[in-house]
Amino acid sequence: MIFDGDVVLVTGGSRGIGRAVAREFAAAGATVVVQYRQDRQAAEKVLSELGPGAHIALQADVADPGQVQNLVESVVERLGGIGVLVNNAGVYERHPVPTTGYAEWQESWRRTIDTNLIGPANLVHRVVPHMIAAGGGRIVNVTSRGAFRGEPEHPAYGASKAGLNSLSQSLAQALAPHGIYVTTVAPGFVETDMAAPYLDGADGAAVRAQSPLGRAASPEEIARVIVFLASPGTEYAIGAIVDVNGASYLRS
Residue 167's closest CA among 183, 190, 155? 183
Q: Which of 144, 169, 210, 248 binds ligand NAP (CB under 6 A)?
A: 144
Of the candidates 157, 181, 198, 249, the residue annotated as catalytic is 157
Calpha distance 35→7 (Å, rounded): 13
- Buried b / exposed e across 199-221, counting CB within 10 Å, b at 16+? beeeebeebbebbeeeebbebeb
Minimum distance, C-beta of residue 67 to ligand NAP, in the bound complex (Å): 8
102 is annotated as an active-site residue = no
| Binding pattern for the stretch 98-137 against ligand NAP, x by CB under 6 A and - elsewhere | -----------------x----------------------
Is residue 12 involved in binding ligand NAP (CB under 6 A)?
Answer: yes
Contact 211, 191 (CB under 8 A): no
Phi, psi (rounded to 5 degrees) for 35: -90, 140
Stretch that binds ligand NAP, among 33-41, 99-107, 121-129, 202-210 (CB under 6 A): 33-41
Does position 39 bind ligand NAP by CB under 6 A? yes
Residues 43-102 that bind ligand NAP (CB under 6 A): 61-63, 88-92
- Residue 124 near residue 139 (C-beta atoms within 8 A): yes
Q: How far apart are the first and last CA of the chain?
A: 36
137 vs 158 by CB, closer to ligand NAP: 158
Residues serving a catalytic function are 157
